[in-house]
Structure 1
Amino acid sequence: MKNTVRQLLKTEFKPESEQKPQLPAQAYKLYDKYAHGMLSRRDFFSAMAGLAVNAALAATFINSMLPNYALAQQVSFNDDDITASYQKFTSPQGYGEGRGYLVKPKHLTAATSTVLVIHENRGLNPYIEDVARRLAKAGFIAFAPDALWPLGGYPGNDDEGRTMQSSLQPEKIVADLKAAATWLKQLDGGNGKLGVVGFCFGGSMTGRLAAELPEAVNAAVPFYGAPPAADSIVDIKAPMLIQLAELDERVNQQWPAAEALFKQHSLNYKIEIYPASHHGFHNDSTARYNKAMADLAWQRTLAFFKQHLS
């Protein structure tokens, strides 16, 4: 009896922040569509009702998926080993001017590699800034541009950021990211080698920059992003480490055809698929975070950049 009571205490009275609604796997697919602008909030709730999930539980679920950026800070902005600042760059083919978050190791004794960090489809949020700090802590110069800078920058919440980003011209966003890559590769203190890492939208952009800036990009690590356009894959020169989540059907189904072209053109690439992981598993501010797989993916990312950017 004592064991039964103890088990109930452990399972029935968890803090609200630790509770995770028990939902069908399809619910995560619906949220993925909502998060990427494929479903309105109204349509998301209608689809959840179709799964026999009541409105209260659907609301609890969608709220649990919203980011808690206090959880995402692994490296403090005032860490003694780094220096961080916001820097602007020119982008004649894009929106004219861009801005991003630049983080450097504080005690550099020699030129080091640079890494461009490309955010998701909602602007330069605190999670992406922390990723830049993690890279600097590991010895790289990291720069994370904010695609929303033409509209004033990341607004402070992801839903509004997603709406803002969808209002911008895609080709101008790409031009701004290319300008940021060129600016970073030439930055004082850099060794002339440029890596690119990105997540979701940023993962797609990572592959695109590798294809469209083959002379600039020296290594690329896309996390759960769509592959580059088929006719551009032949132009890729950089080695690529492609990080995918096992349960991310929407993105994963796009990769077999792309991989066939990677093989056809003898590209230097590796695809890693992380078990029991959803799209966004590296983002430690959301309920989709898978710590074990995120840590493994990050270790591989750092090792990959150190191998190819030295």
Structure 2
Amino acid sequence: MGNPDQRLLQIFDAVYKTCSVSRAAELLEIGQPAVSVALGKLREHFSDPLFVRTSGGMAPTPLAEELVQPIRHALDALEGAFGRRSVFDPATSARRFRICMTDITHLVLLPRLWGALRAAAPGVSIDIASLDDSAGRQLESGEADLAVGFIPGLEAGFYQQALFRQHYVCLASADHPRIRGGLTLAQFEAEGHAAFRATGTGHQIIEQEIARQGIKRRIVLDIPNFLGAAFVVERTDLLMTVPRRLGELLRGRGDFSILPVPFTLPEYTVKQHWHERFHHDPGNRWLRGLIASLMSEAGGQVSPAA
């Protein structure tokens, strides 16, 4: 057997990204039997199973782990030499995209995104993953197409596009027994607070600024996601500091009051992020353009991560 051709290398990369023969077929928009046949040829060429079935999907063998970076470099070089000829037609595509996002983004973005997808790309599917410390690795490997949120730690090799500026407000029950029409710093410090500490929400800004200003915040309820905390706040006298867009969304669905934070908190920018390997991928480019059109306040500029 001669050297594997470009298509075989693309299939290897897709199986590595997805840990699945069926998902690799969806990603490449080819039949699952074609992926299986290609894997057979690759296994014969390398005299190695390359990927084996496990409870977590198709796991790479040690040889496959050694091959993945050279294969990706080869694919990048071929695409650079001959130009990317693939196209993406949203009206006919059956591609499945994977987006890392926070619980907050689920509420703010997903309903609008789903409506836009059904209108423009009825065959496209979306997988949602949590936005956590693995987001950069998932973007680089191709396991995820985009990550949406506040991710200041991404380094060189990633692109980003600003979507909107975010600032914080305080959320309280509409019938809070002591807070009516406004919130003073003394009240902020005296009341009990609910808090959530999800990655990608900018909550570090709150923690750092409160500590810097020497403000007291008595956290009596700590929950890993905002939904549980928000609806506890609705039925108790606890306060919660949340992004403004979330506060406005919750106010329309529950008995909440939105109050200005009684001290200065810096704003932060919610962005969408992707790896440079997929910067020119037509499907990735289409999806991020759709999200920007739905969420961007002023047509955010694309730039490499600092």
TM-score range, shorter-chain basis?
under 0.3
Q: Which has the larger radius of gyration?
A: 2
Query: Which is bigger in relative contact order (C-alpha 8 A, separation at least 6)?
Result: 2
